[in-house]
Amino acid sequence: MTMDYLDKYRDGRHKSWKDLWIMKPIVVVTKVFNKTVVHRPVTVLYPYESLWEPDNYRGRPALDFNKCIGCGMCVRMCPCTAIILVDCPDDEGNNVERPQVNMGRCAFCGYCAEYCPEDAMTVTPIVELAEYTRSDLIYGPRRLAYDHTTEGMKVKLEETLISDYKAGNGEKRYLHSKIDRPELESSKCISCKKCFKVCPAKAIVMTEHGKNAKGRPILWPEINNETCVSCNNCVDACPKQALHMKEVL
Amino acid sequence: MTSYQSILDWINYPDPMINPYYPFGDIYNLPYDICYKLWEIIGGTIAWLINLIFPGNSVSTWLVCDMTTNFFALILFMVVIFLVVFVGVLISLWEERKVLGRAMDRRGTMIGMMGFLQCVADGFKTFMKDNIQTKKGDNMTYIWTVSLIIGTSMLIACMIPLSDRWFVVNYDTGLLIIMALYALAPFFILVSGWSQNNKYSLIGGIRAAEMMVAYEVPMLIIIATASLLAGSFNIGDIVQAQYDTMPYIIPMCIGFVTFFLCATAEAERSPFDLAEAESELVEGWQTEYAGMKWGLIMLADYMRGYVSCAMITILFLGGWDLPFIGDLNNVMPEIVFLLKTWFVFFLMIMLRCAVGRVRTDTILNLGWKVFMPLSIVNLMIVLILKVGGIF
Amino acid sequence: MAEEEKTMNVSQLDAEALAQGGVPELRKDDVMFDAETAKMDTDQMWITMGPQHPFSHGLWTLKIKVDGEKVTDAIPVVGYLHRGWEKEAENRTYPKIIPMADRLCYASSMMYTHLYCMTCENALGLEVPEKAKYIRVVADEINRLQSHLMWLAAVGTDLGNFTGFLWASREREFWMDMNIRLCGARMTTNYPRIGGVRNDTPELFDRDIIRCCDHFEKNLWDIIGLIDDNTTFTSRMIGNGIISRERCANLGITGPAARGTGIDFDIRRDDPYDNYDKIDFDVPVLNTGDSYARYMVRVEEMFQACKIIRQGMAKIKALGKNAPYRLKAPTCIPEGRSFARIEDCRGEASMYMVSDGTDKPYRLKVRSPIFVNVSSSKDLLEGCRIADVPAIMAMLDMCLGETDR
């Protein structure tokens, strides 16, 4: 293929009399000048006009309070530790955990929206976030709400399994939260029910598997594969490391 | 005038030319006329007011007598001329910002009357900046040289006549005097660079001065050529000669291009802006100037640009006459002159947009080796035309 | 007391010499001929083009030793932007390093994340799907265009031509709009993932990007006509900053700076990664070795990038909407060492990773092209005039993020 520019300008000297000493730039500038006088220049008169941004523009993150289950995936994945879970009352008065974002630390990378299993964290086109004090930059769970969320603002994380890809079924895609499931090592379980308490999706049911020497029931967690969101909370909460996340590849 | 009937006893709008102290000989001078009438109003009102309180006093009579009217009219005349020139230069500054903006595909300044008041505000903000005094430098020289640069620039800007009836002095050697004062600036720049007691400023001052000296030579030759064509150095005569024959841009086209480029160099504009550019590495002579002094230096640059454009208009584009209705044009020849000046400035702005900076040694090369021979070639062409009897 | 007062203004060395009754000793780097001129101040002096400077290339210092008008030595001082990137990477899980890699060189963020993902995939032995490879190629070339346009804008300001700055920035906006369409952000895009890319190309992306390519090629000819096509520019570029081919290879300079001196090496063509071998493009190489050659190589690369984008988008469209674009990568990378390199906008960038079986890397080392290129400032600047220094350094295209990490 040809290299148009290089062939034309290669030896640095002007090849025709038309490229006089400084004529070409003046001609070019005059053309652009005429164009911008007749039509508008390319300036957008911010703040009187504003640019149109598509749906997926990564401004500040937003939270849909009622969709959020408090799983903490956003906290886990944030590369800047800008998100922490705080206790706050929900609409009925119960005490729930919801994320709080420190916009001063946020890098607007979109991981919280990408890894959120319920699509409660979304991206928004809001970028005007200036405040007078640093503490004003911390957005609590209610303040994170955004009224005009559309479908395009929810970031979907769909992955193809390596085994599927190698077998030739590359078209199959799964949501990230529906793939990995925790696996129990029964010998280590002490039936403390901590995993049951921390599961945000209520996917763990403690089922009885007989009685132990003292006559107490042996309870082992059983994980509902449909509702689990693979948030790793149970794996972290288990005091005996009896649960491991089984990665399906 | 001991008993008055009305204020009109004091204000009568006489014709200024019958005033025995009329300073301009027998040529009608429009701004003087305006100021004469202004003083009639102001002085007459004050005289009437004083006469109300003290009827028949001598202060009132003195205020409206011939000599005082002339005196105060001259003071107001100075103010009016200064204001007109100042506003004209500000308009060229505004024009630069808007045209530069549009050529760069953006809008220029937008605030305040389509951006004009922004330029005024920018000048005003330089008042509020810190005023630096070098400890070891020669302070008196430092202050005086910058005042003289600005002073001479303002002086020649005021001395350029805008039409037959708008002039300050009507010398027979008007063009030469303007050029002589214009050429004083390099010396002041040199001394100012020296007075800052700074190695880099001295080098910068030397460079700026040698560039300006180099570019004045072709300018002077071309001015001499133009007055050769017209037959005198009087600006009014040159304009009249161009109306009689043709605008001198046609026989002197090489001279026009040369003069135009030399004028951009003299005004320290891009592509010849040594003082602003080499300050990356060798600070220019403007280093130690801060606040209002720097603001005034910038204004002086624009004034010199305005003066060069005005000279181009006078010498090449026919001054304040329109091509075919010259003598009938007594509506507003001043506006025609100013519009032509601003058009030439527009060409300078387009040159600035398009071309980057030229290196120092290239600048001097151009001045001596290209422009001076071109101006001499121009002189030859004009001599041939003159001897050949066309002019 | 009086003795001290007399010698107060003389330097220590001279004072000692005078006290012993002789003339001051000649200092070693003086270009002197006799003792008389030795007393005059005609030293070679060091000028610091300090961390704040008018050419908008980032935060670094260049000290040049000047003899009158000629430069004899140059020392670049970098490190103002050191953020401890490599150390921070040891404390983060593999997916979390991707936004960090964006900020390594903020102008070419897609390339560095691409590089990092390639390193991890090499460690895992993972082969990325075809569609992901083509999307990565297109994203890289958009990034190359955007970065080269920023360089062109900086060239405009360095040479006094502010119009060029604004026109190049305007063109850059359109490519950043393409970035927004693809992943939502203009500069630090966070788009490639270990195992593919973050999301599929959106609706009508191919139509938009072809429009962008057409519009850009027309306007690039305008910008070139403005900057390139006049003697004020070429006289400053041609013949300045010449470096020989052997010296260039010995110093380790890569990228457009090396291709301007005749070294015919481009990783995309000679060591292809991610389907560059299936795309047809030319690599501009010039033999002159001066600044103008480096400039021309970069401009031609911009035109070639448009070609690559068109071919890449055609192939993506041919693969269809259902082709896989993201594989699920395992959380932990097995023990071992891996290496990957790419042709960054500025040269060859490479990463070396040591992993130890956990979900965090043990060591991640980045080789940045500008760090090596800028260390050659002495060779580039020796013998030129002071006024040429900005012009020559502009052709190196500094981006401080990757230099200092």
pLDDT in tens, B66-84: 888 888 888 999 999 999 9
- pLDDT exceeds 80 at position B193: yes
pLDDT at C170: 92
Q: Could you tell me if C177 lies within 8 Å of chain A, comparing CB atoms?
A: no
**Is C58 part of any domain?**
no
Chain B interface, mutation test: which of A36, A42, A44, A45, most B Cβ atoms within 10 Å? A36
- Per the CB < 8 A criterion, the answer to whether B72 and B43 are in contact is yes
**Is C65 part of any domain?**
no
Query: Which of B105, B270, B358 lies at the smallest CB-CB distance from C166?
Result: B105
Name residue C367's beta-bridge partners.
C350
φ and ψ at residue A15, rounded to 5 degrees = -90, -20
- pLDDT exceeds 80 at position B18: no
Q: Could you tell me if A161 lies within 8 Å of chain C, comparing CB atoms?
A: yes
pLDDT at A5: 78
From the number of C-beta atoms within 10 Å of its C-beta (0-12, 13-18, 19+), residue A187 rates as exposed
Closest residue, chain C, to B273 (C-alpha): C160
pLDDT at C10: 44
DSSP tag of C45: E
pLDDT at C19: 63
Shared domain check, C90 and C19: no
pLDDT in tens, B138-171: 788 888 888 898 899 999 888 888 888 888 887 7
Alpha-carbon Rg for chain A in angstroms? 28
Q: Report chain B residues touching chain A, CB-CB < 8 A.
A: 99, 101-103, 105-107, 110, 350-351, 353-355
Q: Where are the alpha helices (DSSP H) in C94-129?
A: 97-102, 109-124
pLDDT in tens, C33-69: 444 444 444 567 777 777 877 665 778 888 888 877 7
pLDDT at C39: 44
pLDDT at B3: 56
pLDDT in tens, A80-105: 999 999 999 988 888 899 999 999 99
Shared domain check, C25 and C107: no
- Per the CB < 8 A criterion, the answer to whether A231 and A73 are in contact is yes
- Give C124 or A216, the one with higher predicted confidence: C124
Please name the residues between 340 and 399 in chain C that touch chain A, using a CB distance below 8 Å.
none
Chain C interface, mutation test: which of A1, A5, A43, A106, most C Cβ atoms within 10 Å? A5
Q: How confident is the model at residue A111 (pLDDT cuts 50, 70, 90)?
A: very high
Alpha-carbon Rg for chain C in angstroms? 25
Angle A117-A119-A122 from CA coordinates, rounded to 5°: 130
Contacts of B41 (CB under 8 A, 6+ apart): B11
Q: How far apart are CA B320 and CA B173, in angstroms?
A: 19
Query: Which of B106, B277, B362 lies at the smallest CB-CB distance from C160?
Result: B277
pLDDT at B258: 92
Q: Where are the alpha helices (DSSP H) in C26-107?
A: 35-38, 85-89, 97-102
Q: Across residues B10-36, what is the average pLDDT?
A: 79
**Is C44 part of any domain?**
no
pLDDT in tens, B164-191: 888 888 778 888 888 888 888 888 888 8
Which of B160-164, B216-220, C211-215 shows the lowest per-residue confidence on average (mean pLDDT)?
B160-164
Closest residue, chain A, to B357 (C-alpha): A22
Shared domain check, C311 and C209: yes
From the number of C-beta atoms within 10 Å of its C-beta (0-12, 13-18, 19+), residue B86 rates as middle
Q: At what angle do helices C291-319 and C205-227 cross, to 10 degrees?
A: 170
Q: Across residues B103-113, what is the average pLDDT?
A: 84
Q: Which two tokens stand for residue B176?
A: 């030469």
Neighbours of chain C (3+ CB pairs under 8 A): A, B
| Chain C closest-CA separation from residue B359 CA (Å) | 7
Chain Cα centroid distance, residue A192: 33
Q: Could you tell me if C39 lies within 8 Å of chain A, comparing CB atoms?
A: no
Contacts of B387 (CB under 8 A, 6+ apart): none
pLDDT at A62: 92
Q: Across residues C337-341, what is the average pLDDT?
A: 93
Q: How confident is the model at residue B5 (pLDDT cuts 50, 70, 90)?
A: low
Q: How confident is the model at residue B201 (pLDDT cuts 50, 70, 90)?
A: confident
Shared domain check, C322 and C176: yes
**Is C61 part of any domain?**
no
- Which amino acid makes up residue C96? K
Q: How far apart are CA C139 and CA B212, in angstroms?
A: 52
ipTM for the predicted complex: 0.89
Q: DSSP secondary structure string, C241-255? A: S---HHHHHHHT--T
Identify all chain A residues contacting C234, using CB atoms and an 8 Å cutoff. 12
Q: Across residues A39-68, what is the average pLDDT?
A: 87
Identify all chain A residues contacting C303, using CB atoms and an 8 Å cutoff. 3-5
pLDDT in tens, B351-385: 888 887 777 777 888 888 888 999 999 999 999 98
Q: Which of A57, B75, B183 lies closest to C181 in space, CA to CA?
A: A57
**Percent residues over pLDDT 70 in chain B:** 93
Answer whether B281 sits within 8 Å of C47, measured CB to CB: yes
The mean pLDDT of chain A is 86
pLDDT at C140: 93
pLDDT at C15: 59
- pLDDT exceeds 70 at position B4: no
Q: At what angle do helices B235-244 and B199-230 cross, to 10 degrees?
A: 50
Query: Which of B101, B110, B350 lies at the smallest CB-CB distance from A26?
Result: B350
Q: Report whether the peptide linkage leading into residue A47 is cis, meaning its omega lies within 30 degrees of zero.
A: yes
pLDDT at C9: 44
pLDDT at C147: 92
Domain ranges of chain B: 17-113, 129-387
Identify all chain A residues contacting C229, using CB atoms and an 8 Å cutoff. 14, 19, 24-25
pLDDT at B328: 58
Q: How far apart are CA A52 and CA C177, in angstroms?
A: 10
- pLDDT exceeds 60 at position C8: no
Q: Could you tell me if A231 lies within 8 Å of chain C, comparing CB atoms?
A: no
Q: Could you tell me if A190 lies within 8 Å of chain B, comparing CB atoms?
A: no
pLDDT at B326: 58
* Residue span of the structural domain in which C19 resides: 1-39
Shared domain check, C293 and C236: yes
- Per the CB < 8 A criterion, the answer to whether C66 and C44 are in contact is yes
pLDDT at C28: 42
Answer whether A43 sits within 8 Å of B107, measured CB to CB: yes
Answer whether C226 sits within 8 Å of A156, measured CB to CB: no
pLDDT at C37: 41
pLDDT at C11: 54
Q: Which two tokens stand for residue B371?
A: 């422009």
**Percent residues over pLDDT 70 in chain A:** 94
- Per the CB < 8 A criterion, the answer to whether C220 and A10 are in contact is no
Q: How confident is the model at residue A19 (pLDDT cuts 50, 70, 90)?
A: low
Q: How far apart are CA A210 and CA A216, in angstroms?
A: 9
Identify all chain C residues contacting A40, using CB atoms and an 8 Å cutoff. none
Assign B182 to helix, strand or coil.
helix
- pLDDT exceeds 70 at position C78: yes
Q: For position C352, which CATH number holds? A: 1.10.645.10
Q: Which two tokens stand for residue B84?
A: 């007109």
C171 torsion bin: left (phi>0), alpha (psi -120 to 50), beta (else): alpha
- pLDDT exceeds 70 at position C219: yes
Shared domain check, C252 and C162: yes
Give the total number of structural domains in chain C. 2
Q: Could you tell me if A29 lies within 8 Å of chain B, comparing CB atoms?
A: yes
Query: Which of C47, C161, C387 lies at the smallest CB-CB distance from B359?
Result: C387
pLDDT at B245: 81
Q: How confident is the model at residue A170 (pLDDT cuts 50, 70, 90)?
A: confident
pLDDT at C240: 82
pLDDT at B285: 74
Q: How confident is the model at residue B1 (pLDDT cuts 50, 70, 90)?
A: very low
Identify all chain A residues contacting C236, using CB atoms and an 8 Å cutoff. none
- pLDDT exceeds 80 at position C285: yes
Q: How far apart are CA C76 and CA C378, in angstroms?
A: 9
Q: Is the pTM of this model over 0.90?
A: no
Q: Across residues B216-224, what is the average pLDDT?
A: 90
pLDDT at C1: 43
The mean pLDDT of chain B is 83
- pLDDT exceeds 60 at position C254: yes
**Percent residues over pLDDT 90 in chain C:** 35
Shared domain check, C341 and C277: yes
Shared domain check, C396 and C312: yes
CA distance between the termini of chain B: 59
Neighbours of chain B (3+ CB pairs under 8 A): A, C
Answer whether A77 sits within 8 Å of C95, measured CB to CB: yes
- Tokens 């002007």 belong to A14
Q: How does strand C70-77 pair with strand C192-193?
A: unpaired
Q: How confident is the model at residue B329 (pLDDT cuts 50, 70, 90)?
A: low
pLDDT at A61: 92
Identify all chain A residues contacting C190, using CB atoms and an 8 Å cutoff. 109-111
Shared domain check, C382 and C318: yes
pLDDT at B56: 75
φ and ψ at residue C263, rounded to 5 degrees = -80, 115
pLDDT at C20: 62
Q: Across residues B255-259, what is the average pLDDT?
A: 92
- pLDDT exceeds 80 at position B214: yes
